Amino acid sequence: MNMVRKIKAAQSRAGIGQDEHVANVLQISNNVTNSCTGLTPNQQQALLTRYNGMAAKKPLNKSLRLIFSLWGQLASAGKVDEDSKEACENWCKTYTDGTNLYKANDHWGKLINMLKQWLAREVPNG
């Protein structure tokens, strides 16, 4: 199976929609391409690794998938140090009164908005 097919299979297993997929590809390629066929082999591997990490044994809620996707985009943009579910969950706990992210569904909308705003924020040079 070629790499693009592996990526598409992992995308499907993780329940990632096309808009979310395009955002991930743009992030990994530094806005060079919006298609995984335009990624370098290393970028394709990074995307596959991200999607495999997002694919849970039982399907994640759409909001949780978006939270983890936005966290991965922040990591690719250099705005967070670690691209992992654990790091994302730890960050989220500070805004959910210590509640586990999976049980904090009342906070998901707020977390998504915070992550989107953080991603959109420009990082000042030097």
| 27 and 78 share one domain | no
| 126 and 66 share one domain | yes
Residue for token pair 């998901």: 108
- Distance, CA of 75 to chain centre: 9
| 69 and 11 share one domain | no
Helix (H, G, I), strand (E, B) or coil at 63: helix
Non-local (6+) Cβ contacts of 118 within 8 A are 74, 79
The pLDDT of residue 125 is 47
Enumerate residue ranges in the chain where pLDDT < 50: 125-126
Non-local (6+) Cβ contacts of 49 within 8 A are none
Domain count, the chain: 2
| 64 and 125 share one domain | yes
The pLDDT of residue 24 is 93
| 75 and 109 share one domain | yes
The pLDDT of residue 1 is 64
| 53 and 73 share one domain | no
The pLDDT of residue 126 is 42
Range of the domain at 64: 60-126
